[in-house]
Amino acid sequence: RKEVEQDPGPFNVPEGATVAFNCTYSNSASQSFFWYRQDCRKEPKLLMSVYSSGNEDGRFTAQLNRASQYISLLIRDSKLSDSATYLCVVNGAGANNLFFGTGTRLTVIP
């Protein structure tokens, strides 16, 4: 079983729409959670950390549900510039590294 699983999409949404991505993780002892953004042919970049209480950064809201072992990312008022692949990232308990999902591709359409 993969450490992290995401719906690969693609999600095609119009500008201004709200879109949500979910991700599940397999290790119930995981403690650190992140969302990364990756543009085509570029390196992944940290979008935001995910805290137990949920957190918001402008149009982006991340939430963690430990009981169900899933993480979500909500993007409000989508912009063309939000078009990218979003990677769900989790640390493996006892592991010295992060595990990356395969990513969910988002395209925002004018």
Partner 1 sequence: DAGITQSPRHKVTETGTPVTLRCHQTENHRYMYWYRQDPGHGLRLIHYSYGVKDTDKGEVSDGYSVSRSKTEDFLLTLESATSSQTSVYFCAISEGQGHYGYTFGSGTRLTVV
Strand duo 104-109 + 11-14: pairing = parallel
If binding is defined by CB under 8 A, does position 25 make contact with partner 1? Answer: no
- Indicate which single residue of 31, 39, 52, 79 sits in contact with partner 1 (rule: CB under 8 A): 31
The 89-108 contact track toward partner 1, x by CB under 8 A, reads: x-x----xxx-xxxx-----
Give me the sign of the Cα torsion angle 51, 53, 57, 59: positive
Cβ nearer to partner 1, comparing 62 with 78: 62
If binding is defined by CB under 8 A, does position 26 make contact with partner 1? Answer: no
Place of tokens 């403690």: 31
